[in-house]
Amino acid sequence: MAEPTTGRRELLDIRNLGVSFETATGPVQALRNAQFAIPRGRTFALVGESGSGKSVTAQAIMGLLPANGRITGGTIEFFGKRDGGAVDIARLSPSSKAMRALRGDRIAMIFQEPMSSLSPVHTVGNQVTEAMRIHTRASRAEAADAAMALFHRVGFRDPKAMLRTYPFELSGGMRQRAMIAMALICDPVLLIADEPTTALDVTTQAQILHLIRELQDERDMAVLLITHDLGIVNTMADEIAVMFRGEIMESGTRDQLLRDPRHPYLRALMRAVPRFHMMPGERLVPLREIRLPAVAEAPASPGAPRDVLSVEGISKSFYPRAAPWARKRQAIPAVTDVGFTLKAGRTLGIVGESGSGKTTVARIVTRALAPDAGRIRFDDGSGLTDITDLDPGRLKAFRRWIQYVFQDPHSSLDPRMTVEQILTEPLTVHRDGTPAQRRERAAELIELVGLNRRHLKRYPHSFSGGQRQRIGMARALALSPSVIVCDEPTSALDVSVQAQILNLLRDLQARLGLSYLFVSHNLAVVDYMADDIMVMCRGMVVERAPRARLFSAPVHPYTKVLIAAVPDLDIDRPLDVAAAGAVLRPGDWPEPFRIGPEPARSAMVEVAPDHFVRYGDAAIGAVA
């Protein structure tokens, strides 16, 4: 056939690639003159924010563009066919036999959402062996053997059982491992990983990234890594291309780009990412800063700030649905013995992975949930009062003092209400002022978050994600609360927008004297925002300390792992992926932190001023 290509350095060579989408308002050019080459056996990262065209590039390579998209020009030369020949993918029909022979066999892909990318009604074994059964003449038994070997390699303890397991029986990280096994079953030469860890916890993310890197070395496989996270790029990539609005802004090796970014977009992006070891007082620089109208900041009150919120020993269990005649219902503890104080004008960060109970704590503090045990006290200016058991009338009056900013700016705004209706609703509920006064207040609020009065008559769908989140913040501010609970307020946003929102939150805090309870899974973001940080794991607070102290002198092994697992932008501090894992269960923690099975006993011990760490039963026994 064609010239032998195995000696070439490149595996995939893209030149002048253009992709356009046919839309109701005419064609939209999603990709313009894209040009890069992926070397064999190396990792090539495509970095960019949403809408930058990085996923479209992957779809073009896979021949999986949506029905309204088409390649308008350029070539995608692939030098990895089974017979060693080359082929121009841009010239192949997406549904042709030749293209299908590449898909899943020579080029495989893993996706962002490991749950929705696997069919819930087919077994993992069925889905993993499928590609092998299509592309090779392997029998059912041979394919099953190959799948079990891979299951073992990607870290499943019982490969045989995996064949008959359904995806919904697995955790997110396990599902992504199954996805990886599925992609690798035909031994592809190119693996396209589209945001493979975005839906996962940091520690799980570190493990999956580690796994991908190991597998890549073993199989001499090239990886096209698509991500928005510069930290992951720093950890994984050999070569990088940065995309913005359908064009490649800058490309080169990792060292070139991260040590010496030339293009203004990449520089701006790097300044917008929160990272560890930022200078004290250093501010993120978003691509577009929101300037608030100049007003004097709230005067700093003399002396130490008072406590606005004091939480002592709250616990909460959930009971899964059981038959009504079941004698005893199995309690699932969500939060165990959590206590903290929040000072006026300060920010307390709550960090934890999914299932750590951080959102449950936020919801208990706002009294959206009632705790099973413990005490919550709140100071509305007249001293700390117990709000654990308020009657409905006083509870409603209390609610104006603590407001909530939600994670998802899309589902947290009613699409059928105008911005003005959204902003005046809290005032109407609490019967504040006349309708005219409420509308005036809405106008003030919208300007406070850097939007315009003209926006009041519009509906949420006409705003971007970042603007919607600002509307959500304006709504939270409507009743002039003293505490705002921010539950992952930026995790659904792009990096540059995240910087904008975080800065806005800090500015509003300085101006209005707000106290924040800032919940996040992202340690770097919490590091940027919080004065004190509380680390949660399995419903317990494992460590609580002032920000600087927590990062400079973490004591608890879980805290250490969490810090180590964050992919950092510092090129001289690549992620120590091997260290992650191992200490995710309280029973696996080393002494004196180990917390055994029921009846477990543990307690917070003050190891330094304001620095508390949870020690396990053995240690407390020794102290007592």
Asked if residue 113 binds other proteins (CB under 8 A), the reply is: yes
Task: Give the CA angle between residues 150, 82, 106 to the nearest 5°.
Answer: 50
CB of 162 to other proteins, least distance (A): 14
Among residues 74, 80, 104, 460, the one that binds other proteins under rule CB under 8 A: 104
Asked if residue 120 binds other proteins (CB under 8 A), the reply is: yes
Q: At what angle do helices 419-429 and 435-448 cross, to 10 degrees?
A: 120
113-121, 203-211, 222-230, 483-491 -> range binding other proteins (CB under 8 A): 113-121
Among residues 82, 122, 160, 453, the one that binds other proteins under rule CB under 8 A: 122
Residue number, 93 or 385, with CB nearest to other proteins: 93
Residue number, 171 or 310, with CB nearest to other proteins: 171
For residue 592, is the peptide bond before it cis, meaning its omega torsion is within 30 degrees of 0? yes
Asked if residue 109 binds other proteins (CB under 8 A), the reply is: yes
Asked if residue 181 binds other proteins (CB under 8 A), the reply is: no
Residue number, 212 or 365, with CB nearest to other proteins: 212
Residue number, 135 or 275, with CB nearest to other proteins: 135
Contact 441, 419 (CB under 8 A): no
Asked if residue 50 binds other proteins (CB under 8 A), the reply is: no
Helix (H, G, I), strand (E, B) or coil at 240: strand
Asked if residue 135 binds other proteins (CB under 8 A), the reply is: yes
Q: Count the residues in the chain.
A: 624
SS (H, E, C) 60-91: HHHCCCCCCEEEEEEEEEECCCCCCCCEEHHH
Residue number, 169 or 255, with CB nearest to other proteins: 169
Residue number, 138 or 600, with CB nearest to other proteins: 138
Residue number, 115 or 370, with CB nearest to other proteins: 115
Whole-angstrom distance, CA of residue 496 vs CA of residue 515: 24
Query: What contacts 599, CB < 8 A, 6 or more positions away?
Result: none
Residues 60-99 that bind other proteins (CB under 8 A): 62, 64, 66, 95
Residue number, 179 or 526, with CB nearest to other proteins: 179
Q: How many residues bind other proteins (CB under 8 A)?
A: 32
First and final C-alpha spacing in the chain: 80
Among residues 21, 73, 86, 130, the one that binds other proteins under rule CB under 8 A: 130
CB of 192 to other proteins, least distance (A): 9
34-42, 78-86, 103-111, 501-509 -> range binding other proteins (CB under 8 A): 103-111
23 bridge partner residues: 26
Asked if residue 169 binds other proteins (CB under 8 A), the reply is: yes
Residue number, 180 or 565, with CB nearest to other proteins: 180
Closest to 104 measured CA to CA, from 221, 176, 183, 212: 183
Q: Taking the CB of residue 33, how many other CB atoms lie within 10 A of it?
A: 14
Asked if residue 162 binds other proteins (CB under 8 A), the reply is: no
Query: What contacts 300, CB < 8 A, 6 or more positions away?
Result: 345
Query: What contacts 240, CB < 8 A, 6 or more positions away?
Result: 44, 45, 47, 233, 251, 252, 253, 254, 257, 258
Asked if residue 100 binds other proteins (CB under 8 A), the reply is: yes
DSSP assignment of 471-537: HHHHHHHTT--SEEEEESTTTTS-HHHHHHHHHHHHHHHHHHT-EEEEEES-HHHHHHH-SEEEEEE
- Cα distances (Å, whole numbers) of residue 227 to 194, 199, 233, 464, 481: 7, 12, 7, 20, 37
Among residues 19, 34, 76, 131, the one that binds other proteins under rule CB under 8 A: 131
Among residues 68, 93, 168, 368, the one that binds other proteins under rule CB under 8 A: 168
Instruction: List the structure tokens of 219.
Output: 């199989």
Among residues 35, 155, 166, 581, the one that binds other proteins under rule CB under 8 A: 166
Instruction: List the structure tokens of 288.
Output: 């577009």
User: Which residue shows structure tokens 């350095």?
Assistant: 9
CB of 161 to other proteins, least distance (A): 14
Asked if residue 330 binds other proteins (CB under 8 A), the reply is: no
CB of 445 to other proteins, least distance (A): 38
Asked if residue 174 binds other proteins (CB under 8 A), the reply is: no
Asked if residue 182 binds other proteins (CB under 8 A), the reply is: yes
Contact 469, 493 (CB under 8 A): yes
Around 140, how many Cα atoms within 13 Å sit in the side-chain half-sphere?
3
Among residues 44, 111, 340, 528, the one that binds other proteins under rule CB under 8 A: 111
Contact 518, 486 (CB under 8 A): yes
Instruction: List the structure tokens of 617.
Output: 């039963």
Q: Report which DSSP code applies to 456.
A: G
Residue number, 116 or 428, with CB nearest to other proteins: 116
CB of 104 to other proteins, least distance (A): 4
164-172, 341-349, 484-492, 554-562 -> range binding other proteins (CB under 8 A): 164-172
Residue number, 108 or 550, with CB nearest to other proteins: 108
Among residues 102, 232, 483, 595, the one that binds other proteins under rule CB under 8 A: 102
Asked if residue 119 binds other proteins (CB under 8 A), the reply is: yes
Residue number, 101 or 292, with CB nearest to other proteins: 101
Contact 176, 205 (CB under 8 A): no
Residue number, 68 or 253, with CB nearest to other proteins: 68
Site residues (CB under 8 A) for other proteins? 62, 64, 66, 95, 100-105, 108-109, 111-113, 116-123, 130-131, 134-135, 166, 168-169, 179, 182
